[in-house]
Structure 1
Amino acid sequence: MEQIFYWTDQAGVAVFAIAGTLLAFRKKMDGFGVIVLASATAIGGGTIRDLILGLPVFWTHDEVYLYTILTAALLTIVWLRFKAYIPMTTLQIADAFGLAFFAAMGAEKTLAAGFSPFIAVIMGTISACFGGMLRDVLARDIPMVLKGELYATTCLVGATVYVLLVPFQPLIALAAGMSATLVMRLGAIKYQWSLTVFRDHQDHY
């Protein structure tokens, strides 16, 4: 079971590293910029989670995470050499898969550290969202989490599904939590789903 969780976590790091590399390509950054964006996306959220929880930062004790980032970034660079243009949708889809992995895995790591289910849901959301926020800020883009369509909400739902199901069957909980986040996020990308808080209005001067 631990091996399944571990390699799922590595897969999430790889997918987010790809998303960071895709944005670096769109911004025409150099090699250093690629590594910075790939790393910020892949391990930024998990680093913030571990710091908040007072846990050892995961990648400082397991260098495989860093090798995963470098490998994913290099393979993406090779692929991109044959592409003249990458649609924004490609970046969004890669990002959606990263959210799906980390919303559930962030919740799993928080529960394993002995924290409550409520804190696990919050930390799952932070693990999933904050790496992308760092990436977008560094690239001088409006963070996806601040745009109209559903983003952080999908992570809250996925982490909640995982926390509710994990007492019964951890693997089913992992699959269900990831699927909930992924389906909601892809639906939000395609159909512009959003949670409207304020009504449309016109400014009056």
Structure 2
Amino acid sequence: MTADYFHFLNIIGVAFFAISGTLLGHDKDIGGFGVVVVGTVTALGGGTLRDVLLNQPVFWIAQPDYLYATYAAIFVAVIFIRYMPDVSNYYMLLVDAIGMAIFNVVGIEKALIEGTTMIVAITMGMTTGIFGGLMRDVICREVPLVMRDELYSTACFCGGLAYAALFLLGVPYLWCIFGSLFITVFLRLGALHWGWQPNIFRKRTIRK
């Protein structure tokens, strides 16, 4: 059952990131096969780096159904764009937030399965959740979301901490997943809607 949940999460995460890459490619007027490249890199980049670092078979090579999910999601996104030409950038940010949250959990779990410590697993979760979007933004000549002054990697990290806390408390497996997903998506969407920023280098004002 655990393997089934893991596989399902991976498929959903791949699909969401493929859609986010396609939407940004459209926004940047990337045409033809270029959109497929952007969507594919976004969907598979983070998981590929994770598997290389864990010295594991690359997930989409070992199980080609991830490629089918990627290309199907890109196709659906293209159809969506064709019938809704005025696509807001908010759609890309929304699916990116959900994809990041899912891949964060997937990265944590795959690292734990391979016997890493929790701190390594949290780092692998962030790597899986962020790297595909980083590659997407670089290809599209955007300032990467992870480099902007807003909650992005911080949201991913907090989601990882939530998973770790629930896991160490012995909370059932599914609630660890839901808790991490909720925290990551809530913080990311809160940053988009209310402009939350970490401001970790803000200097303290000294009253005279």
Q: What TM-score results when the alignment is normalised by the length of structure 2?
A: 0.92
Residue 187 of structure 2 corresponds to 184
Residue 203 of structure 1 corresponds to none
- Mapping of residues 1-205 of structure 1, within 5 Å: 1-166=2-167, 167-199=170-202
Q: Distance in 1 between matches of 2:140 and 2:156?
A: 23
Structure 1's consecutive aligned runs of 4 or more residues displaced over 4 angstroms after TM superposition are: none
Q: Which secondary structure does the structure 2 equivalent of 1:81 belong to?
A: helix
- Code of the residue aligned with 2:172 in structure 1: it is Q
> What is the RMSD of the two structures over their aligned residues, measured on CA atoms?
1.2
Shift of 1:197: 3.0
Q: Distance in 2 between matches of 1:119 and 1:184?
A: 22
Cα deviation digits, residues 2-54 of structure 1 (max 9, x gap): 21221111001100100001011111212311111111111101111111121
Structure 1 residue runs without a partner (length 5+) = 201-205
Cα deviation digits, residues 173-202 of structure 1 (max 9, x gap): 0111111100010001111111113348xx
Q: Distance in 2 between matches of 1:168 and 1:83?
A: 43
Q: Distance in 2 between matches of 1:151 and 1:14?
A: 20
- Code of the residue aligned with 1:191 in structure 2: it is W
Q: Distance in 1 between matches of 2:46 and 2:13?
A: 11
- Code of the residue aligned with 2:21 in structure 1: it is G
Give aligned-pair identity as a percent.
37
Residue 206 of structure 2 corresponds to none
- Code of the residue aligned with 2:53 in structure 1: it is I
Q: What TM-score results when the alignment is normalised by the length of structure 1?
A: 0.94
Query: Residues 146 and 16 (structure 1 numbering): CA distance in 2 closer, same or farther, change over 3 Å?
Result: same
